[in-house]
């Protein structure tokens, strides 16, 4: 009897989920038909861009890298909620049912630009990675223009989605080098930062193990872990596991745990540290690496994914790795520790190189100008075809 009741509850829960999903699907279809119905009367003279979300968070709100790109763009191209002539989506921050949005927009002659970050694959996502890729595959095939965030992003998309059949380019994530600047005072000690979204415990575990080796040579060294903790259901559970491991290593008094931070808070966070430790394997194009470099922080990182494309040969040290789509390969803690101490021994030179690379390669102004050129090209092509 208990088993029957439990099964009935599970069935009822599943039916409710299907019903709610169907209702949301219907609402999305109706709203997108309304959103694009007047586009053909507007014409294609100047770009009017919609970013797939009616509300974009401000820089004082906590948000992910994709939303920050929208903030950078809407300074010049405001988010147009109705009758835009360009739909711009980032695959790492998609709205619900993006296929409907793209289909209805293109019916009205709207051009679709896809900003392609990473993809799902077995080693990172685990079970269900094929399902995760389905909407991304549809978007890539229906895009009028594709912007890959790194060369690595294109490699992954070619392998797990489809080779691109439309015009495309690589545009690395940008940083406002007027907002993200080195601090006026260099902090004391040897302060190491691990930041971002910690989706797997290995990112934190490896950093803690590295700190254990570093403190044997530099007892003053500390590690700050900032960002979102998401490898368990609750943040408190994640932090408890990390603290327990730090106690086991005997370094708990050298570790500081911070939470998520906003774009407004980010510069000060970077300025209060000397080095960014980035332990994620196969990271496609982490914006935080570029922001840290702009603040004069050299990077110690897993030389996998697209990170080496960002850091280059002078702004940090990469720990050699292999390309594997089936499982993650965290960088070795001893190698991370040795690279960190090497940078600390020549910190001034590495810090200057990191800042220079951010200014030269990743400033937001040329990034916006590249988008303006892409939008202009799309509009010109649309007018020519019409």
The reply to whether 8 falls in a domain is no
Asked if 270 contacts 232 with a C-beta cutoff of 8 angstroms, the reply is: no
Reported as a single tens digit per residue, the pLDDT across 22-75 is 888 888 888 999 899 877 655 567 899 999 999 988 888 877 767 888 999 998
* Cα(117)–Cα(68) distance, integer angstroms: 14
Question: Is 255 or 384 the better-scoring residue by pLDDT?
Answer: 255
Q: Are residues 99 and 135 in the same domain?
A: yes
Q: Are residues 242 and 137 in the same domain?
A: no
Please give the structure tokens belonging to residue 174: 């940008």
| Rounded average pLDDT over 161-174 | 97
- Whether 91 has a pLDDT exceeding 70, the answer reads yes
Q: What is the DSSP letter of 112?
A: E
Q: Are residues 212 and 296 in the same domain?
A: yes
Q: Are residues 199 and 162 in the same domain?
A: no
Q: Are residues 129 and 93 in the same domain?
A: yes
The reply to whether 118 falls in a domain is yes
Q: What is the pLDDT of residue 380?
A: 86
Q: What is the pLDDT of residue 175?
A: 97
Domain that residue 283 falls in: 190-361
The reply to whether 1 falls in a domain is no
Reported as a single tens digit per residue, the pLDDT across 332-366 is 999 999 999 999 999 999 999 999 999 999 999 99
Q: Are residues 221 and 162 in the same domain?
A: no
**Percentage of the chain with pLDDT > 90?**
80
Reported as a single tens digit per residue, the pLDDT across 364-376 is 999 999 999 999 9
Reported as a single tens digit per residue, the pLDDT across 264-273 is 999 999 999 9
Q: Are residues 333 and 369 in the same domain?
A: no
Q: Are residues 163 and 212 in the same domain?
A: no
SS3 content of the chain, % helix, strand, coil (to 5): 50, 15, 35
Q: Are residues 350 and 374 in the same domain?
A: no
Asked if 281 contacts 328 with a C-beta cutoff of 8 angstroms, the reply is: yes
Q: Are residues 108 and 141 in the same domain?
A: yes
- Whether 1 has a pLDDT exceeding 70, the answer reads no
State the pLDDT confidence band at 323, using cuts at 50, 70 and 90: very high
Reported as a single tens digit per residue, the pLDDT across 18-35 is 777 788 888 888 899 989
Residue identified by tokens 């009616």 is 54
State the pLDDT confidence band at 274, using cuts at 50, 70 and 90: very high
Q: What is the pLDDT of residue 156?
A: 98
Please give the structure tokens belonging to residue 7: 């099964």
* Cα(296)–Cα(254) distance, integer angstroms: 23
Give the DSSP H/E element, type plus range, for residue 170: strand 168-170
What are the backbone angles phi and psi of residue 255, rounded to the nearest 5°? -120, 135
Query: In terms of Cα–Cα distance, which of 109, 261, 156, 278 is closest to 210?
Result: 278
The reply to whether 119 falls in a domain is yes
Q: Are residues 51 and 64 in the same domain?
A: yes
Three-class secondary structure of residue 269 per DSSP: helix
The reply to whether 123 falls in a domain is yes
Query: In terms of Cα–Cα distance, which of 310, 16, 6 is closest to 149?
Result: 310
Considering the chain, what is the average pLDDT of its residues? 92
State the pLDDT confidence band at 122, using cuts at 50, 70 and 90: very high
**CATH code of the domain containing 48:** 3.40.50
Q: What is the pLDDT of residue 5?
A: 53
**CATH code of the domain containing 263:** 3.40.50.2000
The reply to whether 79 falls in a domain is yes
| Rounded average pLDDT over 285-307 | 98
The reply to whether 162 falls in a domain is yes
The reply to whether 74 falls in a domain is yes
Q: What is the pLDDT of residue 386?
A: 59
Please give the structure tokens belonging to residue 196: 């971002």
- Whether 126 has a pLDDT exceeding 80, the answer reads yes
Asked if 220 contacts 191 with a C-beta cutoff of 8 angstroms, the reply is: no
Residue identified by tokens 């401000």 is 58
Q: Are residues 227 and 264 in the same domain?
A: yes
- Whether 302 has a pLDDT exceeding 90, the answer reads yes
- How many structural domains compose the chain? 2
């Amino acid at each position: 009897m208990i088993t029957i009741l439990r099964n009935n509850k599970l069935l009822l829960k599943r039916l409710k989920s299907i019903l709610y999903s169907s209702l949301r699907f219907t609402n999305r279809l109706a709203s997108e038909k309304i959103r694009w119905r007047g586009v053909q009367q507007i014409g294609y003279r100047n770009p009017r861009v919609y970013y797939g979300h009616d509300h974009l968070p401000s820089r004082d709100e906590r948000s992910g890298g994709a939303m920050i790109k929208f903030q950078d763009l809407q300074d010049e191209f405001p988010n147009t909620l109705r009758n835009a002539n360009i739909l711009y989506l980032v695959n790492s921050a998609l709205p619900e049912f993006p296929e409907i949005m793209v289909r209805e927009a293109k019916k009205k002659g709207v051009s679709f630009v896809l900003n392609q970050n990473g993809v799902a694959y077995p080693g990172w996502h685990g079970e269900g990675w094929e399902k995760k890729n389905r909407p991304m595959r549809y978007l890539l095939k229906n895009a009028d223009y594709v912007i890959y965030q790194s060369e690595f992003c294109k490699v992954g998309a070619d392998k797990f989605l489809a080779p691109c059949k439309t015009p495309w380019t690589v545009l690395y994530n940008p940083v406002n080098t007027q907002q993200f600047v080195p601090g006026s005072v260099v902090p004391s000690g040897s302060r190491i930062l691990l930041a971002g979204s910690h989706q797997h415990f290995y990112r934190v575990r490896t950093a803690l193990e590295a700190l254990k080796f570093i403190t044997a040579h530099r007892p003053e060294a500390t590690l700050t872990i900032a960002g979102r903790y998401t490898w368990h259901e609750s943040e408190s559970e994640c932090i408890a596991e990390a603290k327990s491991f730090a106690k086991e290593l005997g370094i708990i008094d050298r570790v500081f745990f911070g939470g998520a931070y906003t774009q407004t808070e980010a510069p000060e966070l970077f300025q209060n540290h000397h080095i960014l430790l980035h332990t994620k394997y196969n990271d496609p194009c982490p914006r935080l690496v570029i922001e840290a470099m702009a603040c004069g922080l050299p990077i110690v990182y897993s030389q996998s994914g697209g990170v080496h494309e960002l850091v280059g040969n002078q702004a940090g040290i990469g720990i050699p790795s292999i390309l594997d789509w089936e499982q993650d390969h965290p960088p070795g803690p001893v190698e991370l520790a040795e690279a960190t101490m090497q940078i600390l021994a020549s910190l001034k030179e590495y810090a200057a190189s990191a800042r220079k690379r951010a200014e030269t390669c990743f400033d937001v102004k040329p990034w916006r100008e590249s988008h303006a050129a892409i939008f202009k090209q799309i509009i010109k092509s649309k007018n020519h075809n019409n």
